[in-house]
Amino acid sequence: MKVYKGVAEVHEAPKNAVVTIGNFDGVHVGHQELVKRVCAHAVKIMGTAVAITFRPHPHIVLRPTEAPLLLTTYEEKAELLTHYGIQQVIEEPFSREFSNITPDQFVNQFLVHKLEAKALYLGYDFAFGKERSGSVETLQRLAAARGLDIEVVAPRKVRDLPVSSSLIRKSLEQGSIDFVNECLGRPFSLRGLVWRGEGRGRTIGVPTANLQTENRKYPRVGVYATRTKWRGSWYLSISNIGYNPTFKGDGSDLPLKIETHLFDFSADMYGDEIEVEFHAFLRPEQKFSGVEALVAQMQLDFANARTALAALKQ
């Protein structure tokens, strides 16, 4: 995988570059279809599959109060694009200055002169530039005038709905993990470091790993059947996203916590990175009358999680 921190780092044009452009947050099945087309074209002309994306997400710069929490980190996005076949990822730094670039400047400076692109693939709803002047139609006209092959890829649908990053975020808020995973073409996951919590889980015989993430979109508050990767191995697990209302009141003034209990596991993970895959929503978070009632419910949750995860291979 080759990741450039902007097109300025590309000192030699890729051979017969076939390019796609987008935010690609989540790298969902629609993005994967786009990448598949790019890679097939690159193979056909013995070229290089290239993806141009932006860092940070444009809304963080232009509309910070409306900026979405991310489905994947920037590093995860680059890894996924590469996993699906992209050979070079260009993370273009996004700024207010860049947002004012004209479509003509973009095509000339980026695609023609810097990358010497042979073909351009766009999602059906792609747009960039001031007041979204870089529409699909505009780029089609500019690219064709410069001899670039261009193809616009139609949306992929899941359950008759066009897949998009915003649809996936809304579905996460509803706890619709099965639908989210269909849209992603893989399980939704969160990756981060394990930090020390209050240790309360260990005192009741259920030690948990407290996951620390940044600027990530979480599923709705509740309990989930999950699978956790630690040091290259996968373990069946159960995860709670919430505020510990049994001990902390309604949690309205507390940060949201992600706690994961790995089944049949006892190692110390503090300071290590783990990845938690979400496979099934089990129930909403609730407040119990005390520790005894909480532990009794947890035993039921463990059984339900193991059942939901029974078909998975570790």
Could you tell me the CATH number of the domain that includes residue 116? Answer: 3.40.50.620
DSSP letter at 216?
A: B
Question: pLDDT band for position 251 (50/70/90)?
Answer: low
With a CB cutoff of 8 Å and minimum separation 6, the contacts of 143 are 107, 111, 120, 149, 150
Please check whether residue 163 lies inside any domain of the structure: no
Please check whether residue 175 lies inside any domain of the structure: no
Please check whether residue 134 lies inside any domain of the structure: yes
- What's the mean pLDDT in 246-258? 66
Cα 197-201-202 angle, rounded to 5 deg: 95
Please check whether residue 177 lies inside any domain of the structure: no
Please check whether residue 172 lies inside any domain of the structure: no
Please check whether residue 37 lies inside any domain of the structure: yes
Q: What is the structure's pLDDT at 130? A: 65
If asked whether residues 13 and 148 sit together in one domain, one would say: yes
Percent of all residues in the chain with a pLDDT value above 90, rounded to a whole number: 70
**105-160 pLDDT, tens digit each:** 999 999 999 999 999 999 998 887 666 667 888 888 898 899 999 999 999 999 99
Computed from CA positions of residues 114, 119, 121, 127, in that sequence, does the dihedral angle turn out positive or negative? Answer: positive
If asked whether residues 259 and 143 sit together in one domain, one would say: no
For 132, phi and psi rounded to 5 degrees?
Answer: 55, 35
Decide if pLDDT at 276 tops 60.
Answer: yes
Facing residues of 278 across strands?
Answer: 188, 226
If asked whether residues 17 and 131 sit together in one domain, one would say: yes
- What's the mean pLDDT in 221-231? 97
Q: What is the structure's pLDDT at 197? A: 66
If asked whether residues 148 and 261 sit together in one domain, one would say: no
Among the ranges given (99-103, 221-225, 304-308), the one the predictor scored with the smallest mean pLDDT = 99-103
If asked whether residues 149 and 211 sit together in one domain, one would say: no
If asked whether residues 22 and 112 sit together in one domain, one would say: yes
Domain residue limits at 40: 2-158
Chain CA centroid to CA 217, Å: 9
Q: What is the structure's pLDDT at 200? A: 58
Q: What is the structure's pLDDT at 206? A: 83
If asked whether residues 142 and 253 sit together in one domain, one would say: no
SS3 category, 132: helix
- What's the mean pLDDT in 157-181? 97
86 vs 248: CA distance, rounded Å = 46
If asked whether residues 20 and 143 sit together in one domain, one would say: yes
If asked whether residues 112 and 152 sit together in one domain, one would say: yes
Decide if pLDDT at 249 tops 60.
Answer: no
Please check whether residue 36 lies inside any domain of the structure: yes
If asked whether residues 199 and 255 sit together in one domain, one would say: yes
Question: pLDDT band for position 289 (50/70/90)?
Answer: confident
Residue in 13, 34, 32, 44 with CA at minimum distance from that of residue 136: 34
Look at the chain and report how many structural domains it folds into: 2
Identify whether the C-beta of residue 177 lies closer than 8 Å to the C-beta of residue 281.
yes
pTM score: 0.91
Token look-up 């949201």 returns 256
- Give whole-number Cα distances, 178 to 185, 221, 241, in Å: 10, 16, 17
If asked whether residues 235 and 153 sit together in one domain, one would say: no
Question: pLDDT band for position 255 (50/70/90)?
Answer: confident
Could you tell me the CATH number of the domain that includes residue 239? Answer: 2.40.30.30
If asked whether residues 152 and 211 sit together in one domain, one would say: no
Please check whether residue 173 lies inside any domain of the structure: no
- Of 158, 175, 205, the residue at which a domain comes to its end is 158
- What's the mean pLDDT in 235-242? 96
- Give whole-number Cα distances, 305 to 132, 211, 243, 302, in Å: 45, 19, 20, 5
Q: Which two structure tokens, joined as six digits, stand for 165?
A: 């990053």
51 vs 216: CA distance, rounded Å = 22
Decide if pLDDT at 297 tops 80.
Answer: yes
84 vs 49: CA distance, rounded Å = 11
